[in-house]
Amino acid sequence: MSKVTIYGDQRSNFVRSVELVCLQKQVDYQIGGEFQGRLIKWKSPEHFQLHPFGKMPILFDGDLVLAESLAICRYLAQQPQGAALIDADPKVQAVQDMWATLAAGDIDRLLIRRYLLEFVGMDGLVENPNLERMARRKPDAEQAVAVVERQLQQHDFIAGDEFCIADALLVPTLQYVTLLPAELAVIKQDSVIHDYIARVRGMAGFERVLA
């Protein structure tokens, strides 16, 4: 596989997820805004042609244009080289898929879209964050954290004892949430999530991505 391009911004949790998978699969990659030598302006009509909802990441691999983090991660994971990120046993694979879907869906929505982004976005702290709305949403965010914690009390990684796509989708999200100030925190100081993040950050090349 030759060098791929991840369309997006390195601060995006999902761009980081794709990077983690590239590292595990030894896929050479760059992050950028160009497609076929042309700069694709964020939210331009060209952007919407490449991603139906004008989001990031998008993967460019030769003539392949692929939107959606989970689809991108699965495509990369199917490359022959590097770590096996998809278990051969269909039952284990199904559980890995379930956690990957939860990580990119409900968990991201409750922790990032509906909670963290109320306080901090790509361009820094939100001016006058709606703290009342955050307080209303906090129990849902805490529920998502509890779901993750229950699983990590039994396993080193989210879908078992091996790192898989679901971990790549989950850890950048959780790491951002740990950075919230104490009054907005939803991950307690003694949570197993901190050990989990440290375990994943300790993997080859990951510390730079999860800076």
Ligand X SMILES: N[C@@H](CCC(=O)N[C@@H](CS)C(=O)NCC(=O)O)C(=O)O
Interface ranges with ligand X (CB under 6 A): 12-14, 54-56, 68-70, 104
Shortest distance in whole angstroms from residue 153 CB to ligand X: 27
Q: How many CB atoms lie within 10 A of CB 100?
A: 27
Residue with Cβ nearer ligand X (124 or 202): 124
Strands (E), 23-70: 29-32, 34-35, 38-39, 58-61, 64-67
Residue with Cβ nearer ligand X (25 or 55): 55
Shortest distance in whole angstroms from residue 104 CB to ligand X: 5
Residue with Cβ nearer ligand X (73 or 200): 73
- Cβ burial 120-147 (10 Å sphere, 16+ → b, else e): beeeeeeeeeeeeebeebeebbbebbee
Shortest distance in whole angstroms from residue 71 CB to ligand X: 8
Angstrom distance (rounded) from CA 142 to CA 61: 38
Helix (H, G, I), strand (E, B) or coil at 125: strand
Angstrom distance (rounded) from CA 147 to CA 158: 10
Residue with Cβ nearer ligand X (108 or 142): 108
Shortest distance in whole angstroms from residue 43 CB to ligand X: 7
Shortest distance in whole angstroms from residue 156 CB to ligand X: 25
Residue with Cβ nearer ligand X (10 or 150): 10
Check if the beta carbon of residue 205 is closer than 8 Å to that of residue 23. yes
Helix (H, G, I), strand (E, B) or coil at 4: strand
* Residues listed for the chain: 211
Shortest distance in whole angstroms from residue 118 CB to ligand X: 14
Angstrom distance (rounded) from CA 99 to CA 58: 21
Residue number of the CB atom closest to ligand X = 55
Residue with Cβ nearer ligand X (151 or 173): 173
Angstrom distance (rounded) from CA 44 to CA 140: 33
